[in-house]
Structure 1
């Protein structure tokens, strides 16, 4: 456990070490940052063989056991898939960044947040406690905020980061609600134990609410319609960020969450229906948007949303074949999308533009990069012999045997994949083919890491396509049975001539036709602007602006800077609370027999209290009002003495004396006489004060009628002398049982006294001059 906990926390420790190196020293050794993801990849790779053979590794240590929150980690077949993607793609991105951001003045900050993000993702996918999963989930949102806003001098980058944090933060709140509610239902916060309580989960009266929460969490994180709009905006980040966050890590967190909790809802048709509808809308809408984008990263952004929609769509089908297709497609997408992002980054780095209308013929200078781009584009489009071809065939196999209107499901899948073929070819092929524009004649060969890293990803797409058994033995053979209870279909590059091969051929041919016939342009892109008024992003921004205006109005109304307004609002609220409680559940009874006769000294004190109150309220002099309040406080001291509480009387006397002195010092420089407010305000204040006092009195009477719980007082009375050797119970409580609390109170009062003394000295020095 100690080793694994160190591995989980190593990213955060390593980030501190990097930050401690300093900018200048780190600039000379940026390669050091890549050692961590490479080491973590090798470490997690050592678990692959045992996990293939059915082993599950658990790591547990107590954290907050009283709340059921523990550092509980589980490395199983689903977790190992994501950890290998996180650390494997992370290693490539870390190495690539050493040259992409070489010499950048903020490269140390970049690597620090990237390392924190990687650690948060590893913790997220390995957590076996739903609360720790939530904590890591939020860490990914926070660290991604800093990565997206890396170019913080640009207003668009800051705005995009805020939007991304707002949307994913909303999902984080939903995940927390899901965690708390699920923990209450199942009686545990352990995810593996929750999975054993799926029947309780499904039959509970709030199971629908649980689905809403998990949908909000997954859809916001994985950019599903209508929450998708944060992801295109996140393209303002440097390309390594886009590569890492949007191919293998952050956007896959929602997919991971759905896969992890799918067994909970196996018998709930609504769960799968919602995923099917939302995933279908997302993938078709996003794929269609790629037709109108001219920026390479913009095309990749919407094709990423489309791919995430495909994954949700496949999970929504809910069959063994569809879950297998989703798992394979996670790997397929991570490889080709990370490669295309890196290809785009290198093009932008060397050519200084990502505008597809200005790019062409770069194969002459960037030949190795063009090869990587071609392979990634073919994998994106499902061309053989890439792993994308197998992934696409699995999609069609899932839709054809999906049970719910297979013709309709297959049609949507084919249309989406045709457009995905187009998007992949535009990004991975078009910049390298055709005639090279004159303005690109200055393009030079990049550093070898800027083409070697995407080439490595492209090679893996080919390798897994030619040898699909590697994917099958590593992942699908183990993960699918856990999620569906059935064995996954056999992966192969050729199953003979059948309907699936026909659909794949139609997809490729139609995609090629769209690519050659449809030319992206500014005119086509601008034609879509008129629809922005109805876009989810526009509606969300309108809502945010209205919310801000309402919040500003309420803040200025309730917090206008005047203490009297604050006191009035507090008293009105308390009066409403007391009043509603008393009217709904009146339990006021005062027995006159139990009220003992008043002594003459008590009558005198009460009369003094009444006179001092009336005097304070109606006097026009500030100093007279302070004196009246002082008299009221001193009369309270007599009440405490009469009823056997001399220690409280001493405390009250000290507080009132200091309060009067403080008031005199503060109000010394104010006008001697009050400028009374108008008659309406005085009537209003009188009504509020009288109402508050009346309802407070009723509440006190109600409390007096309740049977007191004496367990606490009996404990202190019994153990005051035994444990603290003191006979004054109040003093023992203050000094021993609540010693730290009393100490802090003394510290606060001391600080306040020092502050008052400093102000007095300042005032005296000013007059001495």
Structure 2
């Protein structure tokens, strides 16, 4: 499984070096990888459906509890098949959609990276490894959403999506670390065994709160939902892949995966039901007023994600089964409708449903795929998998454990599904029915690779609708068993007889059809809805973000104004305040413990020379004299080191001081010879701060002198330097071995700085850029 997860990452690196070849004759190889992966995961279906699983472990950073641990069970198998199966269709579709694009190879490099990241999320059995892949999905989706980087809207949408999901990732990391520390393990299969420990811990509410933020931001739950409609600025293959079947369902996967560990608790279930219920109703209603096909699908996607969150909150066996079935239902019809939208936009150059119509006459196979997907989204009886999914949703709400809430929950889901039926018809039927406008008469079918994938997915929706037992036996039952923790004994059937559930399904279909017939979306209606944007979550959160930016500008203007002397002044002033506070809190200095000795004559001479050089530095108006005087101060310190038996420090100080003096002279050669000291106020201020700093450091030295000497640390290094690190120079051993990680990061920082300097040296600006 490790190779399966990393294959997309490896292939994306190959594209960096051989991208030009993949733009032309080798482009057919790009969709081959997800096809091979879907075959790989499909051949494991019999084992997974029988209740067994696969576990793989590879050591990575065992000291930190991070290892390559992968598990393939019912839940991860379902998502892996969706990621690779729908991914195969998207890759074939995208190859034709972006044919001839100058950044063809770059796009598929990002898409392959994203596929690897999603596989890593759903297959990881180590929660820290899961988080690494989780963040990689956010980074790769940022590049995909902002792929059209010449568009300001695309760039803004990408930054918004990264900001929201990135913040969620931060809180998710806190939740995972807390949970792992409480349980004493970071392995998901072992965390399940510590369920009671986690649930009874005082930090349980904090853990689920942090985890909810991570899941809600990724899966676009209210009030974090607004990034998803903005992400529709991405190319259609991105929308079809990320925002229907994969990335937005990562949050749903997270909630499902941790249900056996954190679920079946009032805090967990109530929060998910409330947030999911608000999201599904809010987004479903919004979808009715949109006129852009992508916008309709974006809001209906948010609503569907709300339904899944709501079902996981209901938490009963029926709700878990319904959630697993609806994951497949939604992925099939929504990916189809997104790809259909891309075809319509590709051929007609518009997605406005108020001007589209009659396209069945010129895009007949595309129209068939759209009709079938729209019917599945509506839950058309006895034909589509969506009918089975809606039946199971209503069965879950009707059998809710609290009878007082049964009809409230059922009513909310019915209202949501009625709106979604209408939205599905708006995006999947309206552009293809009615008369064909004259300006679209020359529209023709695109490449077969563009309309065959959505047709395949639409037909699969019908196939599973007619034979739902196949989907249940091989996909959804194993997934629901994993979430439920035991056999759910679920058997999918087309017909359950004339009952309340069937009646609600018919009411939903008829109600949605009626609203579709009555509702006439227009720019005027959309403008009226957008008047409410002033109180929308997007406006509130964006306003808060803008306030943070304003505070940042204020802070930067004060503390980061670009003047080196200002930085030095503030750093020293802060250090003085910190040290003075610490000295004050530590109590008075004990004079009894001072063991003072009178200095020798040569020590006094060195000190007088140092004081004289210091006076010369602060009083001279010549830059060169100041530099020479500073070097004298440095050499005096070297002599003090020699006097007190520290020749290694003396040599280091001598080398650095000499080099610094030479560099100063070389730099000052280009500057005016004299220093402008007209501002006496600043000079007095700096003198006071410098004097205060010297006094405080003197007090610190006396305080250290008065403390009893402890040699535990130095003894440890002295005794173990040779035994553990095979080095006789204790200082070198400390730097290279005992502080190896610190030194490594210092090396990295210097390397980055060197790259920056090299880039500036090699920079060649155009004349217009220089101006």
**Greater CA drift, 364-373 or 626-635:** 626-635
**Greater CA drift, 615-624 or 264-273:** 615-624
Alpha carbons 2:75, 2:479 under 8 Å: kept: yes
2:426 aligned partner: 426
Alpha carbons 1:149, 1:161 under 8 Å: kept: yes
Q: C-alpha displacement at 1:565, in angstroms?
A: 0.7
2:502 aligned partner: 501
**Greater CA drift, 110-119 or 579-588:** 579-588
Q: C-alpha displacement at 1:601, in angstroms?
A: 3.2
Q: 2 CA distance for matches of 1:475 and 1:513?
A: 34
1:14 aligned partner: 11
Alpha carbons 1:418, 1:510 under 8 Å: kept: yes
2:222 aligned partner: 225
Q: 2 CA distance for matches of 1:695 and 1:263?
A: 57
1:293 aligned partner: 290
- Is 1:104 matched with 2:101? yes
Structure 2: gaps spanning 5 or more residues: 762-771
The alignment partner of 1:280 has SS state of helix
**1:309-458 → structure 2 map (5 Å cutoff):** 309-385=306-382, 386-404=384-402, 405-458=405-458
**1:525-540 → structure 2 map (5 Å cutoff):** 525-540=526-541
Q: Select 1:259's aligned residue among 256, 259, 263.
A: 256
Q: C-alpha displacement at 1:22, in angstroms?
A: 3.3
Q: C-alpha displacement at 1:211, in angstroms?
A: 1.5
1:465 aligned partner: 465
**Greater CA drift, 313-322 or 11-20:** 11-20
The alignment partner of 1:591 has SS state of helix
Q: C-alpha displacement at 1:724, in angstroms?
A: 9.7
Q: C-alpha displacement at 1:380, in angstroms?
A: 0.5
Q: C-alpha displacement at 1:460, in angstroms?
A: 1.1
Q: 2 CA distance for matches of 1:699 and 1:555?
A: 32
1:617 aligned partner: 618
Q: 1:641 to 1:124 in 2, by over 3 A?
A: same
The alignment partner of 1:497 has SS state of coil
**1:499-648 → structure 2 map (5 Å cutoff):** 499-586=500-587, 588-591=589-592, 593-648=594-649
Q: 1:709 to 1:425 in 2, by over 3 A?
A: farther
Q: C-alpha displacement at 1:120, in angstroms?
A: 0.9
Q: 1:428 to 1:205 in 2, by over 3 A?
A: same
**Greater CA drift, 356-365 or 576-585:** 576-585
1:203 aligned partner: 200
- Is 1:71 matched with 2:72? no
Q: Report the count of equivalent residues.
A: 748
Q: C-alpha displacement at 1:564, in angstroms?
A: 0.7
Note the alpha carbon deviations across 1:189-231, whole angstroms, 9 max, x for none.
2122222212221222222221222111111110111111111
Q: 1:192 to 1:585 in 2, by over 3 A?
A: farther
Alpha carbons 2:22, 2:105 under 8 Å: kept: no
Q: 2 CA distance for matches of 1:309 and 1:23?
A: 42
1:680 aligned partner: 681
**Greater CA drift, 440-449 or 651-660:** 651-660
Q: C-alpha displacement at 1:547, in angstroms?
A: 2.4
- Is 1:245 matched with 2:242? yes
Q: C-alpha displacement at 1:575, in angstroms?
A: 1.6
The alignment partner of 1:241 has SS state of helix
Q: 2 CA distance for matches of 1:303 and 1:556?
A: 44
Q: 2 CA distance for matches of 1:520 and 1:729?
A: 77
Alpha carbons 1:320, 1:487 under 8 Å: kept: no
Q: C-alpha displacement at 1:421, in angstroms?
A: 0.4
1:767 aligned partner: none
Q: 1:172 to 1:613 in 2, by over 3 A?
A: same
The alignment partner of 2:23 has SS state of helix
1:180 aligned partner: 177
Q: 1:704 to 1:262 in 2, by over 3 A?
A: farther
**Greater CA drift, 223-232 or 99-108:** 99-108
**Greater CA drift, 77-86 or 7-16:** 7-16
2:766 aligned partner: none
Q: 1:274 to 1:606 in 2, by over 3 A?
A: same
**Greater CA drift, 344-353 or 650-659:** 650-659
2:764 aligned partner: none
- Is 1:142 matched with 2:143? no
Q: C-alpha displacement at 1:416, in angstroms?
A: 0.3
Alpha carbons 2:594, 2:705 under 8 Å: kept: no
1:695 aligned partner: 696
Q: 2 CA distance for matches of 1:456 and 1:81?
A: 18
- Is 1:156 matched with 2:157? no
Q: C-alpha displacement at 1:522, in angstroms?
A: 1.6
Q: 1:519 to 1:207 in 2, by over 3 A?
A: same
Note the alpha carbon deviations across 1:490-541, whole angstroms, 9 max, x for none.
3222212221112111111111110111111121112222112222222333
Q: 1:706 to 1:214 in 2, by over 3 A?
A: farther
1:32 aligned partner: 29
Q: 2 CA distance for matches of 1:20 and 1:614?
A: 61
Alpha carbons 1:272, 1:317 under 8 Å: kept: yes
Q: 1:737 to 1:103 in 2, by over 3 A?
A: closer
The alignment partner of 1:490 has SS state of coil
Q: C-alpha displacement at 1:642, in angstroms?
A: 2.4
TM-score by length of 2: 0.91
Which fold has the larger relative contact order, with Cα–Cα distance below 8 Å and residues 6 or more apart in sequence?
Answer: 2
The alignment partner of 2:682 has SS state of helix
Q: 1:370 to 1:689 in 2, by over 3 A?
A: same
Pairwise CA RMSD of aligned residues? 2.8
Q: 1:347 to 1:660 in 2, by over 3 A?
A: closer
Alpha carbons 1:18, 1:26 under 8 Å: kept: no
Q: C-alpha displacement at 1:400, in angstroms?
A: 1.6
Q: 1 CA distance for matches of 2:632 and 2:347?
A: 82
Q: C-alpha displacement at 1:349, in angstroms?
A: 2.1
Q: 1:18 to 1:704 in 2, by over 3 A?
A: same
Q: C-alpha displacement at 1:136, in angstroms?
A: 1.0
Q: 1 CA distance for matches of 2:722 and 2:493?
A: 80
Q: 1 CA distance for matches of 2:733 and 2:243?
A: 60
Q: 1:373 to 1:669 in 2, by over 3 A?
A: closer
Q: C-alpha displacement at 1:737, in angstroms?
A: 8.8
Alpha carbons 2:260, 2:485 under 8 Å: kept: no
Q: 2 CA distance for matches of 1:148 and 1:683?
A: 55
**Greater CA drift, 98-107 or 653-662:** 653-662
Q: 1:632 to 1:99 in 2, by over 3 A?
A: closer
Q: C-alpha displacement at 1:464, in angstroms?
A: 1.1
The alignment partner of 2:632 has SS state of helix
The alignment partner of 1:212 has SS state of helix
The alignment partner of 1:594 has SS state of coil
Note the alpha carbon deviations across 1:679-698, whole angstroms, 9 max, x for none.
43233212322332233333
Note the alpha carbon deviations across 1:419-445, whole angstroms, 9 max, x for none.
000011111111121111112111223
Q: Select 2:59's aligned residue among 62, 72, 78.
A: 62
